[in-house]
């Protein structure tokens, strides 16, 4: 399986114009192009494309300290948000593989970072399973989010 990660480039826009997520997943994340447009003017936000056989099939956003501090006091951490895989490509192991590639990607592009964190809604059981299988650890930190309780997961880099 050929999964890789790359920083967002406008050449990927066409793949995201027809991006599809089920309604129950949209309550926990946002569509890639919306995220790209909203983070353009904000510092320390790094959109990343998940590629499968050279097609953009997924998306995630790496966030710097301005967002990290909402969840952790570790200034050597990045926050993972807006993670999704296009519905047409779900169930193929792409999510798990892309998450396993993240530590190397971060070490190459952000060598000063030592931790990756994310917050997942307590009702989003499917995402919790994927994150745990990819090596994220639930250390018991709980926060209240706009849609309910959040579990804060960690991965040492």
What three-state secondary structure class fits 8?
A: coil
Nearest CA to 35 among 54, 58, 52? 58
26-77 confidence digits (pLDDT tens): 888 999 999 999 988 788 999 999 999 999 999 999 999 999 999 999 999 9
DSSP 92: S
- pLDDT for residue 63: 97
Q: What is the CATH number of the domain that holds 51?
A: 3.40.630.30
65-114 confidence digits (pLDDT tens): 999 999 999 999 999 999 999 999 999 999 999 999 999 999 999 999 99
Cβ neighbors of 43 (< 8 A, separation 6 or more) are 64, 66
Rounded to whole angstroms, the Cα distance separating 106 from 135 reads 15
- 23 confidence band (pLDDT: 50, 70, 90): confident
Domain hosting 147: range is 3-156
User: Edge to edge, what strands does the sheet with 77-85 contain?
Assistant: 3-7, 45-52, 55-63, 77-85, 115-121, 148-156, 137-145
Task: Give the count of domains, the chain.
Answer: 1
């Amino acid at each position: 399986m050929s999964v890789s990660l790359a920083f967002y480039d406008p050449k990927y826009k066409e793949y995201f114009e027809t991006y599809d997520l089920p309604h129950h997943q949209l309550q926990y994340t946002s569509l890639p192009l919306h995220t790209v447009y909203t983070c353009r003017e904000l510092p320390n936000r790094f959109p990343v494309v998940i590629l499968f056989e050279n097609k953009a099939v997924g998306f995630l956003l790496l966030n710097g300290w301005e967002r990290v501090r909402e969840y952790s006091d570790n200034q050597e951490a990045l926050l993972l948000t807006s993670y999704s895989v296009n519905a047409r490509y779900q169930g193929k192991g792409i999510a798990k593989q892309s998450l396993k590639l993240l530590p190397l990607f971060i070490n190459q592009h952000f060598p000063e970072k030592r931790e990756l964190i994310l917050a997942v809604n307590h009702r989003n059981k499917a995402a919790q399973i994927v994150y745990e299988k990819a090596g994220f650890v639930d250390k018991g930190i709980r926060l209240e989010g706009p849609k309910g309780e959040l579990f804060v997961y960690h991965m040492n880099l």
